[in-house]
Amino acid sequence: MLVKRLMPKYKLLIEYDGKDFIGWQRQDNGASIQSSIEKAVKKFSKEAITVFGAGRTDSGVHARGQVAHFELINNFSLDSIRDGINQHLRPLPIAILSAECVDNDFHARFSAKQRVYEYHIISRRSPLTFQKNQAWIVHKKLNINKMIEAASYFEGKHDFNGFRSIDCQSVSSTKTIDKCKVKYENEFIQVEIAAQSFLHSQVRIIVGTLVEVGKEKINSLDIKNIIKSRDRTKAGITAPAEGLYLKEVKY
């Protein structure tokens, strides 16, 4: 009786600047993070593979802690995996931070227990220089205390139909937000949102709504009613992609 040999499965920790990419997912209309890594793995290992990511970040979105997995026929040391892929990714702004062997039943997307996103906002009159394409510049002083209050109303299990894009294909709009916190230091504002999964553009619409609260165009106490309305027109704008980072994926 023939016994099927299990191929080695590798888990990658990845960071990237998403400015010049169409997003994580492989598409025909431009360079993606997924296809770039797949090409680098093929050059390194001489094997054509598929890389599966934990989150399908959109065009322009960055990552500090994206996770992906793939399988190879041949065995390689973990240092060789990391360094070999990085060698063939240069000069693209994508880096493999680490590689590890995982069990055959591990899946970067479906095994994930929580995804943590960070959104960076800079509130000042002057334009950005070093942080251009790395944060959302808001040329207006924001009421941070109102934003902090409003953020707490997003936590918990809710129907977030009013906080997803028209392109969202999820059957259910009910999600559980484990954490939604606003932190700030001088002009720098950071929104951290954690959940097992999100609707399409949900994080960016929540952040856009919080900025509208900060501008005092939306009352922080109205957030509960906006969620209950399930009406996208009552929520705030969709925050631009350049301020969003996939910070961490927990398993």
What values do phi and psi take at 37, rounded to 5? -70, -40
Q: Nearest 5°: CA angle at 196, between 113 and 39?
A: 75
Per-residue pLDDT for 3 more than 50?
no
**Options 3.30.70.580, 3.40.50.300, 3.40.50.2300, 3.20.20.10; which CATH number does 9-101 get?**
3.30.70.580
Q: Quick one: tokens of 25?
A: 């997912």
Tell me the pLDDT tens digit for each residue of 139-185.
Answer: 999 999 999 999 999 999 999 999 999 989 899 999 999 999 999 99
Estimate to the nearest angstrom the gap between the alpha carbon of 64 and the chain centroid: 9
Tell me the pLDDT tens digit for each residue of 200-238.
Answer: 999 999 999 999 999 999 999 999 999 999 999 999 999
The domain limits of the chain are 9-101, 114-250
- The dihedral formed by the CA atoms of 190, 208, 17 and 167, expressed in degrees to the nearest 10: 140
Per-residue pLDDT for 62 more than 70?
yes
> What DSSP character marks residue 4?
P
- Whether 178 is a known active-site residue: answer no
Q: Exactly one of 17, 28, 58, 222 is catalytic; which is it? A: 58
Tell me the pLDDT tens digit for each residue of 92-138.
Answer: 999 999 999 999 999 999 999 999 999 999 999 999 999 999 999 99
| Contact (Cβ atoms closer than 8 angstroms) between residue 191 and residue 177 | no
Q: Quick one: tokens of 203?
A: 């994080």
Question: What's the rounded Cα separation, in Å, for the pair 166 and 200?
Answer: 9
Residues above pLDDT 90, as percent of the chain: 93
Domains 9-101 and 114-250 share a fold: yes
Q: Is the dihedral of CA 195, 197, 199, 202 positive or negative?
A: positive
Q: Is the pTM of this model over 0.85?
A: yes
pLDDT of residue 28: 86
| 114-250 CATH | 3.30.70.660
Q: How confident is the model at residue 7 (pLDDT cuts 50, 70, 90)?
A: confident
**Identity of the amino acid at 11:** K
